């Protein structure tokens, strides 16, 4: 089973839920940190690095001697990463998504592809957790291909938890796609509710069953709960607004280890998630954009 942990905005406790859920799994589990612009799950695990893989995407390189300036390459590129004004095209590597479209349509085979590094995928071991994290190179804004590189380490038959980037944009869709269940983490505040609604829309569009985790219970109001009740969305866990949790977080400690009284909460979240997944074993459909 692959469980994705997402939230409509950053700072809601998504990583706290991911790492603590992974720890209470008890058996071998993969934790994939797909927040490749700012991976931080490793900060909470006493990891020993076991491997690293460079991830690249193919970008076009034009052989000027073969180019007739027809402009077909620029016409097909959705990202304006290759532009021709009846001349040999200009290539903007930082905007290229590596789709290969321009090379395919070039009538003179003037385009061949060269690898452009975008980041690394690192592996580390921490007890029952195999951590796989993506780390985007500085100045690169091409998260989805790196996220796919992280997700290539999903193993059939092994449970996995995906820590998604915050928000509802393409990198989040790339993370959630093909997951079995999504936990949406939010806070009981008007901002939390606003971003939860966006996240719910996104997950419903992709067609993956989901439930909600409410973090910092005790602040704000009850509108998140009212919304979940009205929308028939299960609230699978409420994490109290306990200063000691924030202190453990700031020290890079797992809540289930530094505050063992919370272990039962995360174990129950795991059980409820498994049960909820059994209730909704089929994904409605699996569509999305990259
Ligand atoms: S590989 Fe795709 S994204 Fe990159 S320049 Fe060619 S058409 Fe555009
Ligand atoms: S499609 Fe090929 S021949 Fe036409 S402008 Fe682009 S590189 Fe040149």
Integer Rg of the chain from CA: 21
Over residues 227-234, mean pLDDT? 94
Q: Mean of the pLDDT values across residues 65-79?
A: 96
pLDDT, the chain, mean: 91
- Across the beta sheet with 181-186, the strand order is 48-62, 111-126, 129-136, 29-33, 160-163, 2-6, 181-186, 210-217, 235-240
The ligand 2 atom at the shortest distance from the C-alpha of residue 69 is: 5
Q: How does residue 205 score in pLDDT terms, banded at 50, 70 and 90?
A: very high
Q: Which of 96, 106, 113, 141 to mutate to test the pocket of ligand 1 (most atoms within 8 A of CB)?
A: 96
Q: Taking the CA of residue 276 as centre, how many other CA atoms within 13 Å lie in the half-sphere pointing to its CB?
A: 23
The pLDDT, as a whole number, for residue 156 is 75
Task: Indicate which residue's Cα is closest to atom 4 of ligand 2.
Answer: 70
Q: Which of 30, 11, 92, 24 is nearest to 59 (CA)?
A: 92
10 close to 168: Cβ distance less than 8 angstroms: no
**Atom 3 (ligand 2): residue with closest C-alpha?**
67
pLDDT of residue 141: 87
- Does position 20 have pLDDT exceeding 50, yes or no? yes
Instruction: Identify the residue with better confidence: 227 or 218.
Output: 227
- DSSP element (H, E) containing 271: helix 263-279
Going by alpha carbons, the residue nearest to atom 1 of ligand 2 is 106
Distance CA 278, CA 290 (A): 28
- The average pLDDT across 235-241 equals 94
- Contact 145 CB / ligand 1 (< 6 Å): no
Q: What does the pLDDT average to over 265-284?
A: 75
Distance CA 35, CA 150 (A): 10
Query: How many Cα atoms within 13 Å fall on the side-chain side of residue 262?
Result: 21
Position 210 scores a pLDDT of: 95
């Amino acid at each position: 089973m692959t469980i994705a942990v997402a939230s409509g905005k950053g700072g809601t406790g998504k990583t706290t839920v991911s790492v603590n859920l992974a720890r209470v799994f008890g058996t071998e589990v993969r934790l994939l940190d797909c927040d490749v612009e700012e991976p931080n799950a490793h900060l909470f695990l006493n990891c020993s690095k076991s491997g690293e893989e460079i991830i690249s995407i193919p970008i076009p390189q034009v052989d000027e001697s073969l180019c007739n300036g027809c402009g077909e390459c620029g016409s097909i590129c959705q990202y304006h990463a290759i532009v021709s004004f009846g001349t040999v095209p200009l290539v903007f590597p930082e905007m290229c998504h590596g789709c290969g479209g321009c090379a395919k349509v070039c009538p003179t085979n003037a385009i061949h592809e060269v690898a452009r590094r975008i980041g690394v995928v690192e592996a580390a071991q921490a007890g029952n957790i195999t951590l796989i994290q993506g780390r985007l190179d500085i100045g690169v804004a091409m998260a989805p291909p790196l996220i796919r590189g992280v997700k290539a380490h999903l193993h059939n038959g092994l449970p996995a938890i995906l820590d998604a980037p915050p928000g509802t944009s393409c990198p989040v869709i790339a993370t959630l796609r093909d997951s079995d269940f999504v936990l949406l983490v939010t806070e009981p505040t008007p901002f939390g509710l606003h971003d939860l609604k966006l996240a719910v829309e996104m997950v419903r569009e992709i067609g993956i069953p989901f439930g909600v985790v409410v973090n910092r219970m005790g602040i704000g109001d009850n509108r998140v709960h009212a919304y979940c009740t009205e929308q028939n969305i299960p609230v699978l866990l409420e994490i109290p607004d306990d200063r000691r949790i924030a202190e453990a977080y700031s020290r890079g400690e797992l809540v289930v280890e530094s505050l063992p009284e919370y272990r039962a909460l995360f174990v129950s979240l795991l059980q409820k998630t498994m049960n909820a997944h059994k209730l909704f074993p089929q994904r409605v459909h699996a569509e999305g954009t990259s």
